[in-house]
Amino acid sequence: MSASDVLLSCEGVTRRFGGLVALDHLDLEVKRGDILGFLGPNGSGKTTFFNVLTGIYDFSDGQAHFAGENISKHSAQAVYRAGIARTFQRSRMCLSLSLFDNIMVGNHKHLNLGLGFNLFRRGAFARDLEQRYEQARDLVRAFSPNLADRMSEAVGGFPMLDRRRIEICRALISQPKLLLLDEPSAGMTHEETHQLMGDILSVREHTPELSIIIIEHEMSVMERITDHCAVLNFGKKICEGTYQDVVNNPQVREAYLGIE
């Protein structure tokens, strides 16, 4: 495999909170177009890894290269501009804002935020708005035609499944290279989870270049959508491979079920 196929490579990523080592020298590679599943018991460091990677927490040690760029010192804003977008475990939407507004929050790297443009060149603003609105609606329509007709409704009025869809649209609108999904099925029924995973697979069909890292506890989801999986326990990677390799690994069984 050539080096350019690797989108994200992490070497020895470590995060300490005082004496607690939440992430312990994690090495990881994600190829372009790959879907990597992230497994591990609660508190094993999966979300911490997302938070470190996206600049919410600093790296205590180690580094990460993304598309040839060292992102270990990047702020959250710079990580986003480099092309990493994420969703949150506790869905973080602006509930009082409209569906369209929420999606546009995710598109900030393409928005003209100049005072002159926004306050005085209203004609140009209206044309820009029209174009972005169409783009956002097309994206939403790909997930759910029903949602595309409700662009101006407040997100707080939508059920969890739709909120997750909107959150993923918010992450995708800026056309990132890497999408981080933090437990997208949290708070949803089995059937809803199934639908959402179908949506994610269809997104992948449309954008084969997009890489995804997904944290999930639903094993059936992992089996269905991931190309390979990595398992964390106490901040360390204990296993990596295809889904079948991982679930049959004795260390993984021990981490999840305890020693028999």
Binding site residues, other proteins, CB under 8 A:
54-56, 75-77, 79-81, 85-86, 88, 92-98, 100-101, 104-106, 108-109, 111-113, 115, 118-119, 122, 125-126, 129-130, 133, 151-152, 154, 170, 174
E-assigned strand segments in 56-209:
61-66, 69-70, 84-86, 178-182
CB closer to other proteins, 126 vs 201 = 126
**Structural element, H or E, at residue 21:** strand 20-31
Euclidean distance between CA atoms 189 and 196, whole angstroms: 11
CB closer to other proteins, 154 vs 186 = 154
CB 120, min distance to other proteins, A: 8
CB closer to other proteins, 57 vs 234 = 57
Q: What are phi and psi of 150, to 5 degrees?
A: -125, 35
Those residues with Cβ within 8 angstroms of residue 21's Cβ, 6 or more apart along the chain or in another chain = 14, 15, 234, 235
Euclidean distance between CA atoms 45 and 21, whole angstroms: 9
Q: What are the structure tokens assigned to 247, written together?
A: 């679930």
CB 56, min distance to other proteins, A: 7
CB closer to other proteins, 117 vs 234 = 117
CB 107, min distance to other proteins, A: 8
CB 34, min distance to other proteins, A: 22
CB 69, min distance to other proteins, A: 16
Euclidean distance between CA atoms 5 and 31, whole angstroms: 6
CB closer to other proteins, 4 vs 77 = 77
Those residues with Cβ within 8 angstroms of residue 98's Cβ, 6 or more apart along the chain or in another chain = 151, 152, 153, 154, 155
